[in-house]
Structure 1
Amino acid sequence: MPNIKSAIKRVKVAEKAQAANAHAKSTMRSTVKKAEQALVAGAENAPQLVAAASKALDKAASKGLIHKNAAARKKSRLATK
């Protein structure tokens, strides 16, 4: 644990950001997984789930959680399915 006040604050801020990023990334993965399962099952709400997954991927890319090309690749693969 750091002794300097600013370093202590940076550790706290980093932990808080890490938790928020982990939650956002997990939510994004869950949304994509639900969309993929709906496509495989042929569910009638699949287009809405794909749109939600696409939005989640865009949001994750804009926040820097995943690379923008990775988001584009995942969106493309979802769309072709």
Structure 2
Amino acid sequence: MANSPQAKKRARQIERRTEVNKARRSRIRTFLRGVEEAIESGDSAAAKTALQAAQPELMRGVTKGIVHKNTASRKVSRLAARVKALG
């Protein structure tokens, strides 16, 4: 447990930051799920629009430090390939 004032403050900051990061991660997953569902339904137009919405969200996660750059690129690449295969 934190004893010094600085350690206590850092613990509070980490707690708040964790909540923000959870929300961001959840938001990214929601967008990715939207793309997945559009692909599953076989709707090419919906899949394209969902991917266009998900891509900046994923990259925002990279800039915020939620997702690694290569991970985001890999996810976008694989989803784009699956969307392209639909149409």
RMSD across aligned positions (CA): 1.1
Structure 1: gaps of 5 or more residues: none
* C-alpha distance in 2 between matches for 1:3 and 1:72: 42
The structure whose RCO (Cα within 8 Å, separation 6+) is larger is: 2
Structure 2: gaps of 5 or more residues: 83-87
Q: How does 1:1-81 map to 2 (within 5 A)?
A: 1-43=1-43, 44-81=45-82
Letter in 1 for 2:78: R
Q: What's the TM-score once normalised by structure 2's chain length? A: 0.85
Q: What's the TM-score once normalised by structure 1's chain length? A: 0.91
After superposing the two structures, state which structure 1 stretch, 19-28 or 36-45, moved more: 36-45
Runs of 4+, deviation exceeding 3 Å: none
Identity %: 35
- The number of aligned residues is 81
